[in-house]
Amino acid sequence: MSQLPNAQIDQLQEFVSLLKTCPAILHDPGLAFFRDYLVSMGARLPTPPPKKEPSKTPEPESVPNKEPEQMEQEEVVEEEPESDVELDMTGVIEPDTDKPQEMGNCNDDEPVELTDEQMDEFNTKRDEAMSAFGEADWPKAIDLFTEAIKINSSSAACYAKRGTAYLKTKRPNACIRDCDRAVKLNPDSAAAHKFRGRAHRLLGHFVEAAKDLRLACKIDFDEVADEWLKEVTPNAKKIEEHERNKQRRKEEKELAEKKERIRKAKEAREKAYEEAKKDAPEGGMPGGMDDMGGLGGLFQDPELLSAFQDPEVAAAFQDISTNPANMAKYQNNPKVMKLINQMMGKFGGGGAPGGMPGMPGMGGGMGGMGGGMPGMGGFPGMGGMPGGMPGGFMPGGASEPPPTSGETKSAQPPKSSTDDLD
């Protein structure tokens, strides 16, 4: 009766089967101790796989001609130069750069309550300012409206009127500041929108001007505001069309970049598959992975294709394809393990319900891969071989150690190297 537990013997048998299928695994760096043991017992080791030469960057003259489709994609990605919009700049003036005017107490959260005396003083200053405004004495009107605003800063009409006076003195920026304040106090002030729109037009801000003048006519139709709106509409439409084209080019560029990323990810997957085929033992990929029922079929699965678009997952898959023992490196990587479990399900491995010692989540093993890599269900991550390897495990033609004294060895016919593969 064997002194080893049956589970460990089963694991050892599975490891032997794996070595017979892929002898190159024996040259994994993690099995150096095992190779030394086999050599010390006189075993013959399989020939190590050839080392890959580093890829060389092709010379400029050796770069193949680009496919027409690829050239077309690159042309779409190229940034189109921004074209200047031809606008009618007649009537546009230089902006005023004066120091901002007195705005009074602009704290809307705490409005000032005026006494009767202050209210009388405010009404007096406002009347004087309106009189100067009516006489077209713009500097005097500005000064009087400023004094009124210092007393009462909650009058939207005073800001709108002072803004109009600023506009008359060719100070459109000052007008915009006053009209901003007036609109904040009274959003339905048609006069504030009208004169702010005119100020924007004088500065060449045609889109803003059209917006304000359109709203002024909507609140309270005015023939002058309507004429100003007709004046700015052609330029505003040109600018709006230009912005729409600019946004369209931006979206097209983003779409082309996305397609290019998908194309590169697809090429990386195909390259990984080709590299795995080159490194596979003679006869093709283990378990028929090189036919459409194996790995080729996986590339038709949208979910797996999506997973392969992750560069980290694609690199891990290439590493595992080169050497299945490298799966141990990714046992704590949920993205890679999820992909492996999905692949097992495709091959009939039944997923990974319970995990395996040393490689959690691989309980299904790779036993469902057409027999190419049988019985990894209990393979303990290249470790977990308590008590050392039994003396009878001599892959590669090693002879068993001589029997100890008092023991006799029964003659047994040599075991075929393919017994475990049948």
Q: What is the pLDDT of residues 327-380, one digit of tens each?
A: 888 888 888 888 788 777 765 544 443 333 333 334 333 433 333 343 343 333
> What's the rounded Cα separation, in Å, for the pair 75 and 70?
9
415 within 8 A of 11, measured Cβ to Cβ: no
Average pLDDT score over residue span 390-408: 41
| Closest residue by Cα to residue 266 from 304, 321, 293 | 304
The region of weakest confidence among 60-69, 141-150, 332-341, 375-384 is: 375-384
> What's the rounded Cα separation, in Å, for the pair 277 and 92?
71
pLDDT band per the 50, 70, 90 thresholds, residue 1: low
> What's the rounded Cα separation, in Å, for the pair 173 and 100?
9
| Residue predicted with more confidence, 291 or 107 | 107
CA angle 96, 100, 101 (to 5 degrees): 110
- DSSP class of 90: T
Residues 6+ apart with CB under 8 A from 358: 328, 331, 379, 380, 381, 382, 383, 384
- Residue range 10-41, pLDDT digits in tens: 777 777 777 777 777 777 787 788 777 788 87
> What's the rounded Cα separation, in Å, for the pair 247 and 219?
31
Query: Could you tell me what percent of the chain has a pLDDT over 90?
Result: 39
Strand pairing partners for 356?
359
Coil/strand/helix, residue 356: strand
pLDDT band per the 50, 70, 90 thresholds, residue 285: very low
Phi and psi for 190 in degrees, rounded to 5?
-65, -40
Overall fold of domain 280-359:
434 Repressor (Amino-terminal Domain) (1.10.260)
> What's the rounded Cα separation, in Å, for the pair 204 and 207?
9
pLDDT at residue 169 in the model: 96
Residue matched to tokens 């019985």: 375
DSSP string, 150-186: HH-TT-HHHHHHHHHHHHHTT-HHHHHHHHHHHHHH-
Coil/strand/helix, residue 195: helix
| Both tokens assigned to 209 | 């001007």
Q: What is the pTM of this model?
A: 0.47
- Residue range 149-201, pLDDT digits in tens: 999 999 999 999 999 999 999 999 999 999 999 999 999 999 999 999 999 99
> What's the rounded Cα separation, in Å, for the pair 360 and 337?
9
pLDDT at residue 184 in the model: 94
| Residue predicted with more confidence, 224 or 114 | 224
CA 200 to chain centre: 40
CA angle 286, 292, 298 (to 5 degrees): 85
> What's the rounded Cα separation, in Å, for the pair 359 and 366?
12
> What's the rounded Cα separation, in Å, for the pair 78 and 74?
6
The sign of the torsion formed by the CA atoms of 146, 148, 153, 157 equals negative
Q: How many alpha carbons fall within 13 Å on the CB side of residue 363?
A: 7
> What's the rounded Cα separation, in Å, for the pair 91 and 228?
12
Q: Within the chain, which residue ranges are assigned CATH 1.25.40.10?
A: 116-241
Residue matched to tokens 């490298």: 326
Coil/strand/helix, residue 359: strand
pLDDT at residue 346 in the model: 65
Task: List C-alpha distances in Å: 90 to 87, 93, 241, 402.
Answer: 9, 9, 20, 108
DSSP string, 284-347: SSGGGTTSTTTHHHHTT-HHHHHHHTSHHHHHHHHHHHH-GGGGGGGTT-HHHHHHHHHHHHHT
301 within 8 A of 350, measured Cβ to Cβ: no
Rg, the chain, Cα only: 42
194 within 8 A of 178, measured Cβ to Cβ: no
pLDDT at 144 > cutoff 50: yes
257 within 8 A of 228, measured Cβ to Cβ: no
Q: What distance, in Å, lies between the first and last C-alpha atoms of the chain? A: 26
Report the top-level CATH class of 116-241. Answer: mainly alpha
